Structure 1
Amino acid sequence: MTAMERGYEEQSESAGSKQELEQIEIELLLNGVHRLYGYDFRNYALPSLKRRIWHHVHAENVPSISALQEKVLHDRACFERFVYSLSIPVTEMFRDPGLFLTFRQKVIPLLRTYPYIRIWHAGCSTGEEVYSMAILLHEEGLYDKARIYATDMNARSLQQAKEGVYEISKMKQYTKNYMEAGGTRAFSEYYTAKYNSVILQPYLRKNIIFAEHNLATDTSFNEFNVIFCRNVMIYFNDELRDHVHGLFHESLSRFGVLVLGSKESIHFTRFSDSYEPLDRVEKIYRKNQ
């Protein structure tokens, strides 16, 4: 073996050792968080999880994942920042307008036949999608007989969702989304501008219940006619994704509607035969058994 070949081999062994050490550190961190705080990130997809953990290592100005573990386990405030960093909200009102337009056209007629409507927004983040649903139901004359359950594991995001306060700079995009989603009024009717923010009208919150719920560890808590869970399970591995689909299947009433994100699907899960597509493009499925 030449000196160059030995050098490459040593570099390869060193890289392998670093990767193994990194994996051990991540497992110890996640096991510690689960045992101490009850939050289970162990079945999140590793590539995106690793990126977010290293981002938080730098944000906390610590030298390693092991150092982050020590800080997270001994400092509740650090733990809360860590949870927030692993569930960075990416959302907007009437996001993917085509979905909400299709919901108006294909799901609202079904909901009109129910005496009472329960909708669960799982992983609701800062609430924009929840309020979008409240507006849609209000315009369709169904809000008074509806109850929306908005849940997330992130307490900071939930607090913002409860307040219903958003940046005024986002209203131009939100208004565009609203119109493309089939909005029937002036979007400005639904908020009051104040300085650099807007406050959504209080009546939009009256039938919304905000609560902490962790899809990885918590169980079903009601029976629902509609479940929204969009662009949440893309961060899960196959085992956790299958677990969450089981939770949703248990929580949906017969003929209930499941709405997934654009990159998600009911196919290749053990529940695929339990649903029929209402719209394949917008990932809207109806439970048939």
Structure 2
Amino acid sequence: MSEDPAAQQQRKKTFDIEQHLLVEAIYRRYHYDFRGYAQASLKRRLQTALTRFHCRTVSQLQHLVLHDPEVFPAMLEYLTVQVSEMFRDPTYFRALRETVVPVLRTYPSLKIWVAGCSTGEEVYSLAILLREEGLLERTLIYATDINANALQKAEAGIYAIERVPAFTENHARSGGRTSLSEHYTAAYGRVVLDKSLRKHIVFSDHSLATDSVFAEVQLVSCRNVLIYFDRDLQDRALGLFRDALCRKGFLGLGSKESLRFSSHAGEFEELVPQDRLYQKKGGA
């Protein structure tokens, strides 16, 4: 027997209220701000979390989050999206090589910010690209995320060996100048990225929702993060990127992201539109 439409609507309304109360509680208790995240996406992730934590309602989940200190770190795995691969969207990395790297060569030293770095695949991709282009030795990469567990995995630089064929194919399609195998060692079903890559990377906790700019950089790469934010939080994040970028610095976004509807659109020029590469305008 199907549920009465009125009851369905009431259940949805209750879920929405509970969702709002949960993210507000998380903000007040743990200072992680998910209030500006896209509600539909957040709802899907909470529904998965309900099953994982054996809760019938979001209110029950909220009780666990507030009263069991071991639950919240596990909850972060559901609230933050940890999906990545090395050289994901290879044409993006090819565009970096062909369009951005020639300009980066003109700087005596480089700082790059990878925002929302997840478990580190994109950071290491950039580090390998920069090594291949002879720029890594003068580069410092800031890799930030709000998920401490993801940052720990990123810093370890260890990935399942069955993922390597896809990584290798992406790397080749990105215009890679070396064999990807030169940058890792393999053993016991895992690959470990070269430690000499990691010495050029600083992994750090940073929230695009609440934290400020911490350095001036020549390139910001924040891909497939803004799609999970509402419009106001997208604007806040883009404002941080604008403030962090030096004059005529570069911004890279994900394939489904754009500056088009942002209040900051007028402050950037489209550099490689199809690969979501932008350049900050060179005002005074």
| TM-score normalized with structure 1 length | 0.95
2:164 corresponds in structure 1 to: 171
Point out the structure with max Rg over C-alpha: 1
Partner of 2:150: 157
- Aligned twin of 1:3: none
- What is the aligned counterpart of 1:236 among 229, 232, 256? 229
Counterpart in 1 of 2:55? 62
In structure 2, which of residues 212, 221, 237 is the aligned counterpart of residue 219 of structure 1?
Answer: 212
The match for 1:24 among 17, 36, 46 is 17
The structure 2 residue matched to 1:75, chosen from 68, 83, 99, is 68
Taking the aligned partners of 1:245 and 1:135, their CA distance within structure 2 comes to 26
1:245, distance to aligned residue in structure 2 (A): 1.0
Residue aligning to 1:183: 176
Aligned twin of 1:104:
97
1:6-17 maps to which residues of 2 (within 5 A)? 11-17=4-10
Equivalent residue, structure 2, for 1:119: 112
Paired letter, 2:112 = I
Query: Could you list the per-position Cα deviations for residues 85-118 of structure 1 after superposition, in whole angstroms to 9, with x for gaps in the alignment?
Result: 1113110011111110111000000000111111
Counterpart selection for 2:259 from 249, 261, 266: 266
Alpha-carbon distance between aligned partners in 2 of 1:93 and 1:257, rounded to the nearest angstrom: 20
Separation in 2, partners of 1:247, 1:149: 14
Identify the residue that residue 38 of structure 1 maps to in structure 2.
31
Unpaired runs of 5+ in structure 1?
A: 1-7
**One-letter amino acid matched to 1:148:** I
Question: Counterpart in 1 of 2:201?
Answer: 208
Aligned length: 281
Alignment correspondent of 2:139: 146
| 1:48 partner SS | helix
SS in 1 for 2:236: helix
| Counterpart residue identity of residue 236, structure 1 | F
Instruction: Return the alpha-carbon distance in structure 2 between the equivalents of residues 103 and 42 of structure 1.
Output: 33
CA distance in 2, matches of 1:224, 1:127: 19
Q: Distance in 1 between matches of 2:151 and 2:128?
A: 19
SS state of the match for residue 192, structure 1?
A: strand
Give the C-alpha shift of residue 159 in structure 1. Answer: 0.4
Taking the TM superposition and a 5 Å limit, the aligned residue runs for 1:247-262 are 247-262=240-255
Instruction: Find the aligned partners of 1:104 and 1:248 in 2 and give their Cα distance.
Output: 21
In structure 1, distance between residues paired with 2:155 and 2:217? 21
Residue 86 of structure 2 is matched in structure 1 by 93
In the alignment, the residues of structure 2 paired with residue 206 and residue 12 of structure 1 have an alpha-carbon distance, to the nearest angstrom, of 58
| Unmatched tracts of structure 2, length 5 or more | none
SS at match of 1:20: helix
- Counterpart Cα distance in 2 of 1:30 and 1:279: 37
- Secondary structure of the residue aligned to 1:118 is strand
Give the drift of 1:16. Answer: 2.5
Would you say 1:286 and 2:279 are equivalent positions? yes
| CA drift at 1:63 | 1.4
- Partner AA of 1:188 in structure 2: S
TM-align CA RMSD:
1.2
Partner of 1:50: 43
SS at match of 2:122: helix
CA distance in 2, matches of 1:51, 1:63: 15
